[in-house]
Structure 1
């Protein structure tokens, strides 16, 4: 593929798994974006450098990375030959919103047993008919992840800072954007609803999450488009029901956030 991009994506018949995504990128870099699911990532070749909550992280081969939903992050190759990764996207309810904070603090987990179990989970997810095995392996993986995150939660409880008004305002704007992913929202309207000047809203949101409101909204729309494309819908039908003006609009943003066009992504599905 052009630019050294190889992508395979599918949605297995396993409760709690919204998507499986295998990719090899040599040059492509993800911009800041969000998912509405937990991102469980392992790297088989090379390494990924990424920013999460304004802190730089990396993914050596023995690491399992768990990126929480709704928290902006990016990603780029950390080695000249790029990276090959395997990702399982888990439904947001699988681990719970109360564990998002600990995952932000420590997204990269050095745990050889967990790393091996995640690899076994991917093997099971790739075999149609082995859904029960995949469910069983996912249960063990989720249990071990919760153990790590609960430990982090106990550590951070004593040093949790008090929420500031700016963060609360940003959180309310994010809730508004989440409720209007398809229809969108005009800044002037958001300002009236939240009783804040539009420019102040943009500054507060960008400072709190490291991503502008329009970027956050577009990445949420791309996330919805991914699910519909894996369901088999053509890009032309996906665009209007996910908030994009037309197929060209969808293609431009989808390529930016996923690395391939919607059509190529759909055709890669198993």
Structure 2
């Protein structure tokens, strides 16, 4: 259970910022999931432990964490009193191409007081919501500093492996978020046996295809909720059977109901 969880999320009118999330989780643990955005995370109270691409990491208050798009991760509190965090979700194109994703996977935490302070300041401006130019200026400096960290870690040419069966299946799942697709249908599109699809996808992304699809649908539901749509409508738009189905997976992922997610 995640009693006492506090979540505030919104979409600011700033190019490049997909979502802002401020949350306190006294006991909630994130299951493994992915986002289609760069996740820039700071912790204000407590500490967080998480697995990224099958490797364990920790995030304390002095650090900044940068999680790349489409790489599975989870999250849990280090201490029994829980943790408080602030998150920016940035458009996947804002920080550069796929060549930098590997750098973020290898080293997702930075001890950078300047970057930490700039993020704190930007969150304050975004909460106020009335200073677009200041928010854009601060975001530009933050992105520049994040890119510097990422490029500093890139010592070899980016991995040019073939997309492979797993990546092809991910493209199919992404193209069928609301409607869904059966494994047999996917296997015909990808030209691979259903069992091989599941094994390849789970090995590559650290989760089975159905869990990936559910996580992406929760992400889609968040976008619709932030547009002001009611949860009952969002359930169908995001591909859930009904509002109860949406509530169950949304609470599992975020620790709160869809209604609480957008409550002022």
Shorter-chain TM-score bucket reads: over 0.9
User: Matches of 1:224 and 1:240 in 2, distance apart?
Assistant: 11
What's the offset of the Cα at 1:179? 1.3
Q: Which residue of 2 aligns with 1:133?
A: 134
Paired residues of 1:102 and 1:156 also in contact (CA < 8 A): no
Q: Secondary structure at the match of 1:173?
A: helix
Q: Which residue of 2 aligns with 1:104?
A: 105
Q: 1:185 aligns with which of 159, 181, 184?
A: 181
Q: Secondary structure at the match of 1:125?
A: helix
Q: Which residue of 1 aligns with 2:48?
A: 48
Which segments of structure 1 move beyond 3 Å, counting only runs of 4 or more? 160-164
User: How has the CA–CA distance of structure 1 residues 24 and 168 changed in structure 2, closer, same or farther, with 3 Å as cutoff?
Assistant: same
User: Matches of 2:107 and 2:25 in 1, distance apart?
Assistant: 25
Paired residues of 2:53 and 2:206 also in contact (CA < 8 A): yes
TM-score (norm 2): 0.95
Q: Secondary structure at the match of 1:20?
A: strand
Paired residues of 1:50 and 1:57 also in contact (CA < 8 A): yes
Q: Secondary structure at the match of 1:58?
A: strand
- Looking at secondary structure, tell me which structure has more helix per residue: 1
Q: 2:240 aligns with which of 240, 244, 258?
A: 244
Which sections of structure 2, spanning at least 5 residues, go unmatched?
Answer: none
TM-score (norm 1): 0.93
Q: Which residue of 2 aligns with 1:163?
A: 161
Which sections of structure 1, spanning at least 5 residues, go unmatched?
Answer: none
Paired residues of 2:2 and 2:26 also in contact (CA < 8 A): no
What's the offset of the Cα at 1:156? 4.1
Bigger drift between 135-144 and 238-247 goes to 238-247
Paired residues of 2:220 and 2:238 also in contact (CA < 8 A): yes
Paired residues of 1:63 and 1:115 also in contact (CA < 8 A): yes
Paired residues of 2:2 and 2:27 also in contact (CA < 8 A): no
User: Matches of 1:259 and 1:35 in 2, distance apart?
Assistant: 17
- C-alpha RMSD over aligned residues: 1.6
Correspondence list, 1:193-232, <5 A: 193-232=189-228
What's the offset of the Cα at 1:2? 5.9
What's the offset of the Cα at 1:130? 1.2
What's the offset of the Cα at 1:12? 1.2
Q: Which residue of 2 aligns with 1:149?
A: 150
Paired residues of 2:63 and 2:116 also in contact (CA < 8 A): yes
- Correspondence 1:259 to 2:255: yes
What's the offset of the Cα at 1:161? 6.4
- Correspondence 1:64 to 2:64: yes
Paired residues of 1:16 and 1:91 also in contact (CA < 8 A): yes
Q: Secondary structure at the match of 2:93?
A: helix
Q: Secondary structure at the match of 1:184?
A: coil
User: Matches of 2:80 and 2:138 in 1, distance apart?
Assistant: 33
User: Matches of 1:215 and 1:209 in 2, distance apart?
Assistant: 11
What's the offset of the Cα at 1:93? 1.5
What's the offset of the Cα at 1:105? 1.2
Q: Secondary structure at the match of 1:12?
A: coil
Aligned length, in residue pairs: 263
